[in-house]
Structure 1
Amino acid sequence: MEPHIIHLKTSAGKGGELSVIDEGQLPFQVKRSYWIYNLKEDAQRGGHVHLNSDRILVCLQGEAQVKLRNRQGEEWNFTLNDPGKVLYFPQQFWIDMTCMQGSIMMALTSCSYAEDKLETDWDKFCSL
């Protein structure tokens, strides 16, 4: 499966907006979630690949430019700036991300931290 945007159910009221992820809406069962915040201007994140876990990336606030690559060097580029649109990408996709200052990013993963393996060397990843 290729990386793609998933559009969440979103409703707006006079007090704000609400986006929801219902059971069965994601291509995997969420086993772990974490968020990144207090990001500095043009913060560089990623520079690695998760070998065993699929991911959902949500920009809760601000904006992030996300570049994903597979071993063959094919690239997918996304701009995340709407909490109602989340990015799905499967395991074995290298991620590089640039976030605006003040952005808040949340990730949902298909496996626990202990089950996942991380590679930070592009050449080593390509040779696996």
Structure 2
Amino acid sequence: MSKIALIQLPKIIDPRGNLSFFEKENQIPFEIKRVYWIYDVPGGEIRGSHAFKEQNEVIIALSGSFDVILHDGEQEVKYSLNRSYYGLYVPKMMWRRLENFSTNSLAFVAADTIYDQNDYIRDFEDFKTLKNEIYGNGL
């Protein structure tokens, strides 16, 4: 999978409380090497604002809501995540930022690589240049 995708995760409805899950190969298109979560984000703050050279991710709003803004170097698209049974697949070489966090929101991220500072692209112009070098003008 190399394109952005909204993945509907299983939702087991139960009067005692609902349950959702994901499994490698059934919902998530990669082997998970790392998970992390973002929480207690103060009002108006933005997280992310970078791209990864190699890392692919699935982002889930486990609680509350937030927006994921993705940019491929030419155009921007916004995904509003607010359901814990949807995951947003974000492929490598996609600029991302998370914003508009609701109170007590919890962003869960599953990634296919371990942490590597050298995988980050933190300057948007550098990102566009590198993407053009890799993929040419047809981003």
Which category of TM-score, normalised to the shorter sequence, fits these structures?
A: over 0.9
Which structure is higher in helix share? Answer: 2
DSSP 3-state at the match of 2:107: strand
| Residue 114 (structure 1) aligned with residue 116 (structure 2) | yes
Separation in 2, partners of 1:79, 1:114: 27
DSSP 3-state at the match of 1:101: coil
RCO higher in 1 or 2 (8 Å CA, sep ≥ 6)?
1
2:38 aligned to which of 18, 36, 39: 36
Dislocated runs of 4+, deviation >6 Å: none
DSSP 3-state at the match of 1:79: strand
Matches for 1:49-128 after TM superposition, within 5 Å: 49-71=51-73, 73-98=74-99, 99-114=101-116, 117-128=119-130
Aligned-residue identity in percent: 26
| Residue 3 (structure 1) aligned with residue 1 (structure 2) | no
TM-score by length of 1: 0.92
RMSD over aligned CA atoms reads: 1.4
DSSP 3-state at the match of 1:28: coil
Note the residue ranges of structure 2 that are not aligned, 5 or more in a row: 131-139
Which structure is higher in strand share? Answer: 1
Note the residue ranges of structure 1 that are not aligned, 5 or more in a row: none
